Amino acid sequence: MEVAIFSVIMAPFILFVIFVAPIWVILHYRSKRKIREGMSATDAELVRQLAKQAEDMRERIRTLESLLDAEHANWRKEQR
């Protein structure tokens, strides 16, 4: 009886140690290394481009709001 329980418990444990644990350790240390390295040059460039696009959008929105304020002064109140 004890041998059957032992084999039922040990079989999944052995499979875990052989297959899952090494992959888990490799992926863990790979992610730690990537975090330590920081952003890559392409990631940093992408962030700069997105910041520029956001600033351009902000300026366009301000322009549109000033045009709407000049043409139709109560447009903000009518929206609500």
> Is pLDDT above 70 for 79?
no
User: Which pLDDT does position 5 carry in this prediction?
Assistant: 79
Domain ranges of the chain: 1-38, 39-80
> Is pLDDT above 90 for 76?
no
Return mean pLDDT, the chain.
89
Residue 17 CA, chain-centre distance (Å), reads: 30
Report the predicted TM-score, pTM, of the whole model to 2 decimal places: 0.52
Cα–Cα distance between 80 and 73 in angstroms, integer? 14
> Is pLDDT above 70 for 80?
no
Which tens digit of pLDDT belongs to each residue from 7-63?
A: 888 888 999 999 999 999 999 999 999 888 888 889 899 999 999 999 999 999 999
Cα–Cα distance between 40 and 74 in angstroms, integer? 48
For 7, 9, 10, 73, the CA distances from 3, given in Å and listed in that order, are: 6, 10, 10, 85
| 3-state secondary structure (DSSP) of residue 70 | helix
Give Cβ neighbours of residue 75 (< 8 Å, ≥ 6 apart): 68, 69
